[in-house]
Chain A
Amino acid sequence: MTEAMAQPAKRNPQKRAVLPTLPPFSRSRQALTFSSRAAEGRLCLQVCGSCETVVYPAREICPKCWCSALIWTDIADGGRLIAETVLRTSINTYFRERMPWRVGTVEMDAGPTALMHLHGDVEHGAQVKIIARTDKSGQGVLFALPKMETPNMADDRQLRALTCDPKFRRALVTDGRSAIGQATVRALSAAGATQIFVGVAEQWRPFEGAAELAAMPKVEILPLDVTDTDSVNELVGEIGGRTDILINTTEHVRPGASMERNNVLIAREEMETNYFGLMRLIQAFGPALRARGADGDNSACAWVNLLSVYALSNWPTFGTTSASQAAAFSLSQCLRGEFAGSGVKVINILTGPTEDAWHQPLPAPKVTAEGIAKAIVRSLQQGIETMALGAVAEDVLARWREDPTVLERELTQVAAGASR
């Protein structure tokens, strides 16, 4: 049974910080498809379009019938552990630093057998639940969990290497003024975060929920205005070395397309918060997080961006906001590149219209602040890098994956948005 994790000891500041080492990152191009699905928390393998054989490891043709149409498909997550070992030596430094390490052969219900990382509670010969996640090198790996939830399951050392669990970690939520920010703070607190820093711009200006926020244990309210470079830099001086998770919930949303405005003032404000705000945060906090990616059980582990799903494809009803969101999405990809090798994941939560004043006239379904907060914490606990939240975002993401050019037609045709 997994032993409950203890609160990590404070780091001795006189000791050199542990530099991140990485599990092997080289993969074939086919295997990158597996990694991209794993980043979404999906267990996908190639399935032969002709004989339906599930193929693993990734190939170029089906080994049973030589059909070349191998289709990446979500597969059944059941399996059985049929052989296991505990590695006590490794030729890779990352694993060598983390010995012993448990791996085993799992006979998957879908057909193939595969080598997987094993959760400590998986018993010999037992049924398992298979998940695919990205590891510290950002590549997809298979992991076998016990079929049924066990006590302290998330505290398993090998599983925690794939997740960004807020438990015993310190998080910064960038916007305490909003309902979304406040809900996120509550969810992080419930998930066992050690400390939650909350940024609030223009603290002299009252806001709804301020008293409740201030009264919450483990919460520290700090001045932060992402449109002000000095403000961001002051904050990083104070808490940069103690921030394990950064959650950027700050957003500036206004309805309207280009021609509904006479100038670029609103669009500039959108960019100032949604794009330059993100960039200021990255420039200040990025290096601090990146340097602490291997800093023990409460290492820096994740950067979370809350983005509109219309970052993927413009929705003219919120046309200029969509454009600023697209810029932010692009910058998040850049950030993923900059974090590569650090062990810090970039997590993008894609939402559709939310329950707030700016989306008030739109019909349901809309996403609530509580729903967003839950999704943020779930993505951290599960180590999932891309999550679409709510029916609208899931629908848009599915269409985008199927064909982004068709989605563009759908979103921009006559009367587009009338149904949303």
Chain B
Amino acid sequence: MTIGSEGRYSYDGVVITAPVSIPYQRYSPKPAHWWLGQVLSELGLKANLKPSNVDGLCASSFTLFPDTAVGLTQHFGLTLSWLDHIPVGGACGVVALRRAARAVQSGDANIVACIAGDTNHVDSFRSMLSSFSQFSQDAAYPYGSGGPNASFALITAYHMEQFGSKAEDFGKICVAQRDNALQYANGLMKSSLSLDQYLDARLIADPLRLYDCVMPCAGGEGFLVMRESEAVALNLPYANILSTIERHNAFPDDPVQFRGGWALDVDEFWRMAGIAPNDVDLLQTYDDYPVISLMQIEDLGFCEKGQVSDFVAANTFTNEGSFPHNTSGGQLSVGQAGAAGGYLGLVEALRQVTGQATDNAVQDANIAAVSGFGMINFDRGLCSGAAVLQGAA
């Protein structure tokens, strides 16, 4: 265990392993407990673990009410020395990884199952949005009840005006992700998408059009965190954690969100990883709307703020492209399964760098950057995080 240049301990000796994704469904009559249970069950099969082998659990879900992670211990027959419930939405994958890795590193737990999952009943989305947070209830929801579409329409409009992003840039990202999704078995979107289709789609909240928006659905994702020696003993392919960052409520005085916490932590992020942005083989951004993916590309240092339109023009984002991005299709093409959306990119990156991706594998993928973004509490996403994973040779 070494202390890095930032005064932070490295994650040496702790690894992430056993990527699990449960195929998504548009609507599900099953409760969140079922989806989380499927993830846990798959993790057990994958790593050959019984309930008694797991002593740490980290769960994220929006639809688990009235339960929290505590109730899951009894539900799933777990006797734990370490438990966490992480309600940071789209940042929950990276944040769970950070928490679990330190728990294992310190010896508070040996094997931590990190799981996220949500159900989607016919009226789940409306009822979740109408009571999402006090600020949104007081100051956002009464203004047209557009939900995240409204918030991101304003963020997108502002970014286009101030930083020169264009509808064609968003479209290129969405189209490439759809191409990637067609190689990935678990996605909800099964038909191809062209740039013309993207640009001609109906308006949802100007300037957002239909294919800028994710489809809420049910699904689950998970992974395990353990000591490297344990993964070797279990014969599991794994990845090392080179770097992580996490930030909440960065830049509170920006009038409209044009950057996330990554911009505050980007230098530390790459210094801790010991690599530069162009050393990564693929990037998984949190993509509930394409503008946020572009913001992460800027704020994580892949290009300068205000240059992202040129960056998009100069690159291709498919799995065979110059800049493989959201290699399973991201939420835009796989679906947004609540809190599982915060795991989707991380789990997919883990598959890629451990050689477990199949039809959508990026050739020779070894290092992945993963980014998370979550919780429109009022007018902006409050939580950001990122991690660099490197597959063990």
Contact = CB atoms under 8 A, between A and B. Distances in A.
A31 B379 contact: no
Given A28-B137, A31-B138, 20 more contacts: A24-B145, A26-B137, A30-B138, A57-B134, A85-B208, A86-B205, A87-B149, A88-B203, A88-B205, A88-B206, A91-B147, A94-B145, A95-B144, A95-B145, A103-B144, A105-B158, A115-B150, A117-B144, A135-B142, A141-B143
B300 interface: no
Contacts of A101: 144
19 contacts: A23-B142, A34-B138, A85-B207, A88-B203, A88-B204, A90-B146, A91-B125, A91-B129, A92-B126, A95-B144, A101-B144, A105-B154, A105-B256, A115-B139, A115-B154, A117-B144, A135-B142, A139-B142, A141-B142
B255 interface: yes
A128 B286 CA distance: 35
Nearest to B202: A88
Interface SS of A by simple majority: mixed
B255 A89 contact: no
B76 interface: no
Nearest to A91: B126
A92 B145 contact: yes
A114 interface: yes
A371 B157 CA distance: 46
Contacts of B204: 88-89
B146 A103 contact: yes
B379 A113 contact: yes
A116 interface: yes
Interface of A: 23-24, 26-28, 30-31, 34, 56-58, 63, 82-92, 94-95, 101, 103-105, 107, 113-117, 135, 137, 139, 141-142
B141 interface: yes
Contact of A24 (B130, B202, B203, B208): B130
Nearest to B130: A24
A104 B139 contact: no
B52 to A, nearest CB: 44
A89 B154 contact: no
B379 A89 contact: no
B144 A87 contact: yes
A137 B126 CA distance: 18
B137 A27 contact: yes
A87 B252 contact: no
Contacts of B141: 24, 92
Contacts of A90: 144-146
Nearest to A86: B206
B166 to A, nearest CB: 17
Given A31-B138, A56-B139, A84 B205 contact: no
Given A23-B145, A90-B146, A92-B145, A104 B378 contact: no
Contacts of A142: 143
Given A24-B130, A103-B150, A85 B205 contact: yes
A95 B378 CA distance: 19
A101 B204 CA distance: 11
Q: List the 8 closest A-B pairs by CB distance, nearest first.
A: A92-B145, A85-B153, A57-B139, A31-B138, A83-B154, A83-B158, A91-B126, A87-B146
A137 B142 CA distance: 10
Contact of B157 (A83, A114, A135): A83
A84 B256 CA distance: 11
Given A23-B145, A95-B145, A113-B379, A89 B157 contact: no
Contacts of A87: 144, 146, 149-150, 153, 205
A399 B154 CA distance: 43
Contacts of B144: 87, 90, 92, 95, 101, 103, 117
B140 interface: yes
A293 to B, nearest CB: 18
Given A57-B135, A85-B150, A91 B145 contact: yes
Interface string B288-316: 00000000000000000000000000000
B131 interface: yes
Contacts of B135: 57
B26 to A, nearest CB: 16
Contacts of A107: 255
A115 B142 CA distance: 10
Given A63-B252, A84-B154, A105-B154, A115 B206 contact: no
A411 B202 CA distance: 64
Contact of A82 (B130, B137, B145, B158): B158
A137 B205 CA distance: 24
A127 to B, nearest CB: 15
Contacts of A56: 139
Contacts of B205: 85-89
A23 B255 CA distance: 26
- Among A28, A63, A94, A116, the one with the most B-chain Cβ atoms within 10 Å of its Cβ is A28
A278 B123 CA distance: 43
A89 B146 contact: yes
B154 A24 contact: no
